Amino acid sequence: MNWVERDAAVVWHGFTQMACYADNAPIVVERGVGRELIDTEGRRYLDAISSLWVTTLGHCVPELDEALRAQLDRVAHSTLLGNGNRIVIELAEALSRVVPVDRPHFLFASDGASGVEQALKIAFQFWVNRGVAGRNTYLAFGDAYHGDTIGSLSVGGSGFGTAIFDPLRFEVLRAPSFSNPDALKVAAAMVREHRARLAAVVVEPLVQGAAGMLIATSTEFAALQAACRAADVLLICDEVATGFGRTGTLFASEQCGLSPDILCLGKGITGGYLPMSATVASQRVFDAFLGADLSEATLYHGHSYGGNALAAAVALRHLELLHSMNVLANVRARSSQLRALLDTHVRPKVAVKDIRLVGLMGAVELDTRTDARLARRTCIAMVRRGVLCRSMGPVVTVVPPLTTTADEIERIVLTLAAALDEATS
Ligand SMILES: *Cc1c(COP(=O)(O)O)cnc(C)c1O
């Protein structure tokens, strides 16, 4: 049996139809170096999806490897339930200096979805603890994606193939998708109208990633925040995808003028090395949970591996490297270059419906009316040419690591153009 056969025999891949897993040109990775992944046959692929948006600086980054090894010599993990861990404190202190949250407190978990789940539960209990009745609904946006647990699915929009779970979703108030230019204005009006039953608004600042990079105008977010403040409704920003430089600033909230009550972080927090997420609460939110020992004011929630020491050590070093390597400047320069090259080489093609890009989160939306698998087949043709991409429905996503070079950006775009020609010929 080859590796793909062995894989298909025992591994169940997420968001993947296993009956045709092997037909869709999967690569079986053995090693990584820089922006490249190397498969079991020794073939190299430029990782143009950053291993689904988590890889920031690249694979096998010497400084991150070193931080991980050093922490291994101390301790791999100790529980944060009722006790502390030195490296986690150091990480939280470093993060507290850069997150757009007022006097932040960090509740760590392992996945983005758990980070969102924690935010939803904190927002709900915040009002209960303060003795305010009826605040048990959330306002979320159409086409939003917040993860795959039942709570995060509930605030997420329909689509993504998850309609089958609709009977399990709890109801939320639904503002329009970012594809509607009035989405944020409508949301602000809904906050004013339904304030008495809203615990919180949940939003992906600037860009709805999984929806195919639907971008809202950054200046529109201030009105939503103002409406939340005026109505005393909590604002939850889900920066699991946008955090840690992806959009050209450390957090997208900065570009949108947002200072949320609760912030969700994940994906790039460890540079793509280890599973870690964090729910960041402002002082005001945190204070509502203070009370007597064993009292009901306590947040009775925590995950076994929340605040894993190995992940924390890597995350801390990663945060330092984002600054010392001047990564944000590279994101902005490569983003302009990517936009210009996509406009020249990809936009003119008949199959291209739209191109959307913010920082290094890009989407090429194809016209799939005559071929539902066009984006899929385009990505397969790219992989054959040594550039790893993944489609989401009609969209080819371009999400390269934040340290990608000018030559690599050019290679991605020219490969995409050639692959699209092949897929449409
Ligand atoms: C990926 C993502 C999540 C879920 O994160 P997981 O680590 O996959 O659970 C949540 N919110 C947003 C905006 C995301 O892009």
- What residue type is assigned to position 95 of the chain? L
**How distant, in Å, are the alpha carbons of 240, 277, 313 from that of 111?**
9, 5, 17
The answer to whether 141 and 196 have CB atoms below 8 angstroms apart is no
Same domain, 118 and 228: yes
Domain termination site, one of 305, 324, 343 = 324
How many angstroms separate the alpha carbon of residue 54 from the centre of ligand 1?
A: 10
Q: Report residue 308's pLDDT band, with 50, 70 and 90 as the boundaries.
A: very high
pTM score: 0.98
CATH number at residue 379: 3.90.1150.10
31 & 144 share domain: no
What is the residue with the minimal CA distance to atom 5 of ligand 1? 112
Q: From the alpha carbon of 267, which atom of ligand 1 is closest?
A: 7
Are 156 and 294 members of one domain? yes
| Residue 153 sits in the same domain as residue 300 | yes
Verify that 193 and 342 share a domain, yes or no. Answer: no
In short, whether 408's Cβ falls inside 6 Å of ligand 1 is: no
Going by alpha carbons, the residue nearest to atom 11 of ligand 1 is 146
- Both 244 and 153 in one domain: the answer is yes
pLDDT at residue number 260: 98
pLDDT of the residue at 25: 84
Ligand 1 pocket residue status of 120, Cβ below 6 Å:
no
Q: Which domain holds residue 134?
A: 65-324
What is the overall mean pLDDT for the chain?
97
Q: What is the pLDDT of residues 113-166, one digit of tens each?
A: 999 999 999 999 999 999 999 999 999 999 999 999 999 999 999 887 889 999
33 with 180, same domain: the answer is: no
Say whether both 262 and 396 belong to one domain.
no
Burial class (CB in 10 A: 0-12, 13-18, 19+), 371: middle
240 and 381 together in one domain = no
Cβ of residue 178 lying under 6 Å from some atom of ligand 1: no
Query: Total domain count for the chain?
Result: 2
Q: Is 146 in the pocket of ligand 1 (CB under 6 A)?
A: yes
Where among 294, 324, 354 does a domain terminate?
324
Region 84-96: mean pLDDT is 98
Dist. CA 205 → ligand 1 center (Å): 13
CATH number at residue 138: 3.40.640.10
User: Quick one: average pLDDT of 250-259?
Assistant: 98
Between the CA of 423 and the centroid of ligand 1 the distance, in Å, is: 30
Closest residue by CA, ligand 1 atom 8: 112
* One domain, residues 251 and 363: no
Closest ligand 1 atom to residue 52 Cα is 1
C-beta 260 within 6 A of ligand 1? no
Instruction: Please give the biggest Cα pair distance in the chain.
Output: 70
Structural tokens at position 55: 């890889």
CA-based R_g, the chain, Å: 21
DSSP characters over 266-282: -GGGGTTSS--EEEEE-
User: Are residues 73 and 164 located together in one domain of the fold?
Assistant: yes
Indicate if the pLDDT at residue 332 is higher than 80. Answer: yes
Sheet holding 277-281, edge to edge: 105-109, 277-281, 262-265, 234-238, 198-203, 137-141, 173-175
**190 lies in the same domain as 310:** yes
Look at ligand 1, atom 10, and give the residue with the nearest C-alpha: 146
**CA pair distance 155, 304, nearest whole angstrom:** 24
* Ligand 1 contacts CB of residue 116 (under 6 A): yes
Residue whose pair of structure tokens reads 């103002």 in the numeric block: 226
Confidence band, pLDDT 50/70/90 cuts, at residue 1: confident
Of 289, 309, 324, the one marking the end of a domain is: 324
